Amino acid sequence: RLGDDVVRWVTERFGLPLYARVDLLPTADGPIIIELEMTEPSLYVSLGDGAADRFARAVLSR
């Protein structure tokens, strides 16, 4: 739920991200965010035919 809330907050302010990852750590007081990543330097685009082109088109369409 916390991860969904964070992505919703980001989307409301900046638009839907092409990529987002929320890393959470469970604690006795509930989960805490340890990392919010909005860019990923290694998207493994070399592993899928046309993946780099599709990602580039998605970025350019923004």
pLDDT for res 55: 87
pLDDT for res 43: 79
Instruction: Output the pTM of the full model.
Output: 0.62
Residue pair 7/22 in contact (Cβ under 8 Å)? The answer is yes
What are the structural domain ranges in the chain?
2-60
Residue pair 45/52 in contact (Cβ under 8 Å)? The answer is yes
d(CA 8, CA 3): 9
pLDDT for res 44: 83
Reported as a single tens digit per residue, the pLDDT across 23-50 is 999 999 999 999 999 887 777 888 889 9
DSSP state of 59: H
Average pLDDT of the residues in 11-19: 91
Residue pair 21/7 in contact (Cβ under 8 Å)? The answer is no
Beta strand spans in the chain (E): 21-25, 32-37
